[in-house]
A and B are shown apart, each in its own frame.
Chain A
Amino acid sequence: MLQLINTIISRPSGAIGLTLTALHLAIALLAPLIAPYDPTVQNADAVLLPPSLEHWMGTDTLGRDIFSRVLHGGRLAISVTFAGAVIATVWGSFAGIIFGTVGGRIDEYFMRLVDAFLSVPWLLFLLLIISIGGAGPSTIIPTLGFFYGAAVLRVIRGAAMQVAARDFVTAAKARGEKLWPILTREMFPNLSDVILVEGAMRWSWMLLAFSSLSFLGFGATPPTPDWGLMVAQERGLLSTAPWAVFWPCLALSSLIIGINLLADAIGKALGIDRATAMAM
């Protein structure tokens, strides 16, 4: 573990990624303690104030302190997408390992279904489900998890097929091992690195998806402080109060970039070539 972190921070991009991610996670955890104001309390006497010593990032149209809202703004997005990423990684890699190990006809037909499923552009699928099941985390988490899991499945199944072709798996099969021990003792330990990187990468894409949903009005609900929603609400006054939009944009982008760089660095440190895995 320590060695892995050392390899990650030996590259500048990895060091930046780890710093950004850790910083954001710390802020999200500590936001209630460090925020100077309540992020939802409105103040009619302090509407759209420019940045000052009292309000470091200014105030928004309802007089709320933007600095406090930016500090809180990642909490919902991070927890929703983390839950979604865990669901996606668990079911996607579980099914991917099975299909990659078993192979043959079943695998081939099932992959056709997965391909057909993946050909619904993700946002449309989410929007369709939201228009049926309503917005909010209880709809979004399982949908994101299920949908991104299909993409994880595709990648892990590809990686599993390569492992399944190796000698020690053939030997285990020849010994007469059952499917389950082969999956847990031969396949999984050789795929855990790929799964880790895949999960981290999906997490960053999911953050992008969730904040886009929030921006469109289907993710976080007012008055929850959420970066995507903040941009959507304040961008009408972009010309008079650009700070109200700038800070949430910066916070959101830096978190996604951070996780992305970190996932990439973990992949490189573990010797996983993501370019080829992505293409499959």
Chain B
Amino acid sequence: MPTLILRRFGFAAFTIAFVSMIMFAAVEALPGNVCTSFLQRLAQGPRLERCIEQQGLDRPAIERYADWASGALKGDFGYSLKKRKPINEVIGERLANTALLGGLATFLAIPLAVFLGIVAGVRRDRPLDLSLSGIAMLAMTIPEFVTATALIYVFAIVLQWFPAVTVMRSGMGFFDMLPNVVLPVLVLSAVLIAHIMRMMRASVIDVMASDYVQMARLKGVPERQIIRRHVVPNAMIPALNVIALTVAWLLAGVVVVEKVFNYPGLGTLMIQAIYDRDLPLVLSVALIFSAIYVAVNLLADLAALMIDPRLRRGGH
């Protein structure tokens, strides 16, 4: 058991190291360097020299990677070209804002999706299941910016319940923020709910067909109790993995949704950094997103180990 947990931690560490190397190498592969790409036609003379010195570009790539990686571990991501500030200062508040959005969406979506998935799975192929599954399909396939635009039209323009774009001042209290996050959270959780619900439904259907459920039925256990005692706990395990995978989608979705609502989070920061060709900042935000994803996956793995004793035996 302890070696198993250690191995999961090891794989998470390996993943994040590998990902950071790929991303760093991708930037290295570009023609020119970070400074020429940022300064474009102005890349000459003392301006270029200052930039090269500030970014430490005169040193070999391996050394710079080691510096960047060890700095990132301590929360020091280097220096933003456009903002002329240390990157961790730029990121701080943005990270909190994105965490608020993602956190609320996740906490809203998971219980609801699990519940709907159970309902749909138990009532397989009945009208309720068909309509739930149909709505889930729509939520998964319609692009987030389309859903968001539709919600803005209905709730911000026609009904005027919520603001269409985020109105935010720094130092705002949690409850003042709430009207700003309602619509973005709704968009994000709609897709999360759809993905998790589909998996939960499939998983419930599998378990319902299993021998032990059949056995319980034959013993005369009431259906309600079968679902609560046998179906739900067993169906949760495969669904847990999908919950972790949907976080990967959430991190991508958050970029689009933040852009639609002009929400001051990491996503809009990254898009602005791309417009500005501020590669050190782009790289840092991408690394933070990947780290969040790997961490969530690790948590899901460990949770699965806790729920399911069968996983604790054997190699992997």
Contacts and interface: CB of A to CB of B under 8 A. Distances in A.
B129 interface: no
Contacts of B140: 260
A256 B297 CA distance: 29
A249 B149 contact: yes
Interface residues of B, number: 55
Nearest to A273: B202
Interface in A210-256: 211-212, 215-218, 228, 231-232, 235, 238-239, 242, 245, 249, 252-253, 256
Contacts of B23: 120, 128
Contacts of B26: 128-129, 132
Contacts of A44: none
B155 interface: no
A245 B141 contact: no
A256 B153 contact: no
A215 B143 contact: yes
Contact of B141 (A124, A208, A276): A208
Contacts of A131: 273-274, 277, 279, 282
Interface stretch (A80-88, A111-119, A191-199): A111-119
B157 A121 contact: no
A239 B286 CA distance: 34
B138 interface: yes
Contact of B256 (A212, A257, A275): A212
A1 interface: no
B77 interface: no
Contacts of A249: 146, 149-150
A240 to B, nearest CB: 10
- Categorize the interface residue count of chain A: 35 or more
Contact of A216 (B15, B149, B259, B283): B259
Contacts of A211: 143
A108 B143 CA distance: 35
B143 A218 contact: no
B248 A121 contact: yes
A76 interface: no
A123 B255 contact: yes
B256 A124 contact: no
Interface stretch (B78-86, B216-224, B288-296): B288-296
A125 B289 CA distance: 11
Given A121-B251, A121-B252, A216-B271, A238 B141 contact: no
Nearest to A115: B15
Interface in A131-182: 131-133
B145 A228 contact: yes
Contacts of B153: 238, 242, 245
Given A127-B270, A257-B141, A113 B18 contact: yes
Contact of A212 (B15, B145, B277, B282): B145
B111 interface: no
Nearest to A207: B143
A64 B138 CA distance: 30
B238 interface: yes
Contacts of A128: 23, 26-27, 282-283, 286
Nearest to B242: A279
A122 interface: yes
B283 A116 contact: no
Given A132-B29, A132-B30, A249-B146, A120 B242 contact: no
A211 B138 CA distance: 16
16 contacts: A112-B14, A117-B19, A119-B248, A121-B248, A123-B252, A127-B274, A129-B26, A132-B27, A212-B145, A218-B274, A231-B146, A231-B149, A253-B142, A253-B143, A275-B199, A279-B242
Closest 9 interchain pairs by CB?
Answer: A123-B252, A275-B202, A116-B15, A121-B251, A131-B274, A116-B18, A132-B30, A249-B146, A253-B142
Given A125-B286, A132-B30, A245-B153, 12 more contacts: A119-B19, A127-B274, A131-B274, A131-B279, A132-B37, A132-B279, A231-B149, A235-B149, A238-B152, A257-B138, A257-B142, A260-B140
